[in-house]
């Protein structure tokens, strides 16, 4: 056990910088090394750690081991705080924009039944999950929001059609599904022919779009 190794142990265990005098005082009275001897051992330690990821640094109140600044990027990953969770309001707003786009803030408020703060919209804009795709021709020209390509990438979706469908109360069996499919195809055909009817059929189309998935 050398003076150098004892100082090494002390400096690593300490949670604050230790001065040469403080280090000296930690030795039993009759075995105390001189401050000069301590300084010399500290120099050896400094030299030893010089090529490593840490350094023995001298600060105002003494000596302390410190991880070198070059490694700050890695350390920041280590200490990155656990991400908080989005509030229900944020999730609901995002869901409305995803499933009902393009929508204005007013539309979102109508569906949620409560005001939507600008913070929520800002959060989603900053995350690059939504964007404004235009303005509604209404008083105040409110922005129309839609989801972005980045939103699709984040959720690993090719297109919005891949968003999970609502859980149906009861799953229709395959044959029924196939029948509906064919029907709806014809219906679609008709719809194109007579745009007027389309609006009425909308519910059915929705169901088909979902079972298509």
Residue 52 within binding range of its own copies, rule CB under 8 A:
yes
* 24/198 with CB nearer its own copies: 24
Query: What are the two backbone dihedrals, phi and then psi, of residue 8, each rounded to the nearest 5 degrees?
Result: -60, -50
C-beta separation of 129 from 94 below 8 A: yes
Tell me which residues in 59-98 interact with another protein (CB under 8 A): 64-69, 71-73, 75-76, 79-86, 88-89, 91-92, 94-96, 98
Distances (CA, A) of 90 to 33, 95, 156: 64, 9, 20
What are φ and ψ of residue 58, in 5° steps?
A: -100, 120
User: Which one of residues 29, 30, 60, 77 is an interface residue with its own copies (CB under 8 A)?
Assistant: 77
Contact residue for its own copies among 35, 47, 53, 115 (CB under 8 A): 53
Interacting partner of 5 out of its own copies, another protein, none (Cβ under 5 to 8 A depending on kind):
its own copies
Residue 158 binds which one of another protein, its own copies, none, with CB within 5 to 8 A depending on kind? none
Rounded Cα distance between 158 and 191, Å, is: 27
Q: Which of residues 178-197 bind another protein (CB under 8 A)?
A: 178, 180-185, 187-193, 195-196
Neighbour tally for 16: CB within 10 Å:
9
Q: On the CB side of 85, how many CA atoms lie within 13 Å of its CA?
A: 4
Q: Are 91 and 116 in contact (CB under 8 A)?
A: no
- Would you say 2 or 36 has its CB closer to another protein? 2
Task: Give me the helices (H) in 103-194, please.
Answer: 105-112, 118-126, 149-154, 174-193
Under rule CB under 8 A, residue 12 binds its own copies: yes
Binding positions for its own copies, rule: CB under 8 A: 1, 5-6, 8-10, 12-14, 26, 52-54, 65, 67-68, 70-71, 74-75, 77-79
């Amino acid at each position: 056990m050398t003076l150098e190794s004892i100082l090494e142990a002390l400096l690593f265990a300490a949670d604050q910088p230790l001065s040469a005098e403080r280090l000296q005082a930690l030795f039993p009275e009759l075995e105390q090394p001189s401050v000069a001897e301590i300084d010399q051992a500290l120099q050896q330690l400094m030299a030893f750690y010089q090529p490593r990821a840490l350094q023995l640094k001298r600060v105002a109140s003494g000596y302390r081991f410190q991880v070198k600044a070059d490694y700050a990027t890695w350390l920041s990953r280590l200490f990155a705080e656990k991400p908080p969770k989005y509030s229900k309001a944020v999730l609901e707003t995002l869901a409305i924009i995803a499933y009902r786009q393009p929508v204005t803030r007013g539309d979102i408020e109508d569906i949620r039944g409560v005001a939507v703060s600008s913070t929520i919209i800002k959060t989603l804009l900053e995350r690059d999950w939504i964007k404004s795709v235009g303005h509604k021709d209404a008083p105040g020209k409110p922005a129309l929001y839609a989801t972005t390509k980045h939103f699709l990438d984040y959720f690993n979706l090719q297109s919005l059609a891949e968003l999970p469908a609502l859980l149906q109360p009861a799953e229709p069996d395959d044959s029924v599904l196939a029948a509906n499919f064919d029907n709806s195809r014809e219906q679609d055909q008709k719809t194109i022919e007579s745009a007027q009817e389309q609006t009425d059929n909308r519910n059915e189309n929705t169901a088909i779009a979902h079972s298509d998935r």
